[in-house]
Amino acid sequence: MFPRDVWLVFRREMTHRYRQPVWLLFGLAQPIMYMFFFGPLLGKFVTYTPGFPPGGTWMVFAPALMVQIAIVGSSFVGVSLLAEYRSGVFERFSVVPMSPAALLSGKLLAVSVNVLVQASAIALLAVLVFEVRPPVAGVALCLLIVAVLAVAIASCSYALALRLKSEEKVPALLNALLLPIFLLSGTLLPITTKLAPSWLWKLSRLNPIAYVMDADRASFRGDFSAHSLLTGSVALAAMTLISFWWAVRTFSRQRA
């Protein structure tokens, strides 16, 4: 059955991931350093610079770090899939009566949960250390957006890894793609019409993660009527459906 197969793959992935929990801490190290060493510098910048999104420094920066975790934490999962492919684990899955969608869904669920744990830690630090007071519903929606974004990116990473089948090419290509995607998403600094030159603003609009970033910030501050929340949700849904379809199709071809 599909739910049982998804659960079995998910449990296997989580057991493998948390057998060495130190990697979870390593994943949190970079965003935490951004919080303490970069975030305080934004205070006066936000106050005296027109065009910044509303809500203050941490209402802008905390959800950005959650999106950063989703991007970084799910982009390179395809490399671990290649290790399974080389060792024959993926081939053994191919003879099990399990659909490619179930196999992929179990893996994606594990990635999503891992990202959720790290993003929740960032939200908790923002509340406890920096005294941010976002609405509970806003934080919950923000975490949901981050989790779905992780699914979309991880799907692309898995599909790309199985297409290239090269431990050298996959990280190199991902690094080349991630930097412009990350910078044009407005994660470190928001890209708005007042802050950015027109060419940079127009270029950022070609990046679907920029819309997701705007939606994440709107949800974190509790602005549920914001137009950016609707636009970002539509962009995220489209990204997720397309990337999941691509990954399922790639998994199916490998098992054929």
- Residue 61: what pLDDT? 87
- What's the average model confidence in pLDDT over 184-202? 86
Torsion-angle region of 88 (φ positive above 0: left; ψ -120 to 50: alpha; else: beta): left
- What's the average model confidence in pLDDT over 213-217? 93
- 252, two tokens: 């199916």
- What's the average model confidence in pLDDT over 172-188? 88
Residue 161 has pLDDT above 80, yes or no: yes
- Residue 218: what pLDDT? 92
CA distance 138 to 128: 17
- 24, two tokens: 């979870």
Residue 20 has pLDDT above 80, yes or no: no
CA distance 244 to 156: 8
Residue 135 has pLDDT above 70, yes or no: yes
- Residue 108: what pLDDT? 94
Percent of the chain surpassing pLDDT 90: 38
Query: Quick one: three-class SS letters along 120-169?
Result: HHHHHHHHHCCCCCCCHHHHHHHHHHHHHHHHHHHHHHHHHHHHHCCCCH
Residue 205 has pLDDT above 70, yes or no: yes
- Residue 49: what pLDDT? 65
Q: Which residue has the higher pLDDT, 24 or 153?
A: 153
CB of 73 within 8 A of CB of 27?
A: yes
Residue 28 has pLDDT above 80, yes or no: no
Mean per-residue pLDDT over the chain, rounded: 86
Residue 67 has pLDDT above 60, yes or no: yes
* pTM for the full predicted model: 0.91
For the segment 80-117, what is each residue's pLDDT rounded down to a tens digit?
Answer: 888 877 877 777 766 667 788 888 999 999 999 999 99
Domain count, the chain: 1
CA distance 36 to 22: 21
> Residue 59 is part of which domain span?
2-255
Instruction: Please report which confidence band the pLDDT of residue 170 belongs to, taking 50, 70 and 90 as the band edges.
Output: confident
- Residue 22: what pLDDT? 65
